[in-house]
Amino acid sequence: MNEKKYKYEVAFSFVKDDEPLATAINDLLQERVATFLYSKRQEEIAGTDGERTFATIFGEEARTVVVLYRDTWGATPWTRIEETAIRNRAFSEGYDFVIFVPVQKATTLPKWLPKTQLWIGLERWGVEGAASVIEARIQQTGGETREESVQDRAARLKRYLDAETARKEFLNSTEGVNSALKEVATIVETIECRAQQITENTGFSLKTKRVDSGIDLYANQGGISIDWHYSYGNTLDGSSLLIILWNGIPYRPWRSFIRKPSQVRQEQYSFDREYTGMVGWQSTSKKGFMTSEQIVDHWLKILMDYVHKQHLSNRG
Per cent of the chain over pLDDT 90 is 54
Distance CA 288, CA 298 (A): 12
Q: Which long-range contacts (CB under 8 A, 24 or more apart) does 147-154 make?
A: 147/32, 148/31, 148/32, 149/31, 152/31, 153/31
Query: pLDDT tens digits for 115-165?
Result: 777 677 777 778 888 888 899 889 888 887 777 778 877 877 888 888 889
Query: 221-251, pLDDT tens digit by residue?
Result: 899 999 999 999 999 999 999 999 999 999 9
Angle (deg, nearest 10), helices 292-314 and 174-202: 40
Beta strands at 8-13 and 62-69: parallel, antiparallel or unpaired: parallel
- pLDDT confidence of residue 3: 66
Distance CA(263)–CA(286), nearest Å, equals 20
Distance in angstroms (rounded) separating the CA atoms of residues 10 and 29? 9
Q: What strands, in cross-sheet order, belong to the sheet with 263-273? A: 207-211, 214-219, 222-229, 240-246, 263-273, 279-283, 289-290
pTM of the model: 0.71
Residue 289's pLDDT is what? 83
pLDDT at 49 > cutoff 80: no
Close Cβ partners of 130 (under 8 Å, ≥ 6 residues apart)? 25, 101, 120, 122
Helices (H), ranges, the chain: 19-29, 42-45, 50-56, 77-93, 122-140, 150-171, 174-202, 292-314
Judged by average pLDDT, the poorest of 57-66, 83-92, 117-126 is: 117-126
> In terms of pLDDT, which residue wins out, 103 or 175?
175
Whole-number Å distance between alpha carbons of 50 and 41: 12
Q: Where are the domains of the chain?
A: 8-147, 173-314
Q: Which CATH number fits domain 8-147: 3.40.50.10140, 3.30.70.3280, 1.10.10.10, 3.40.250.10?
A: 3.40.50.10140
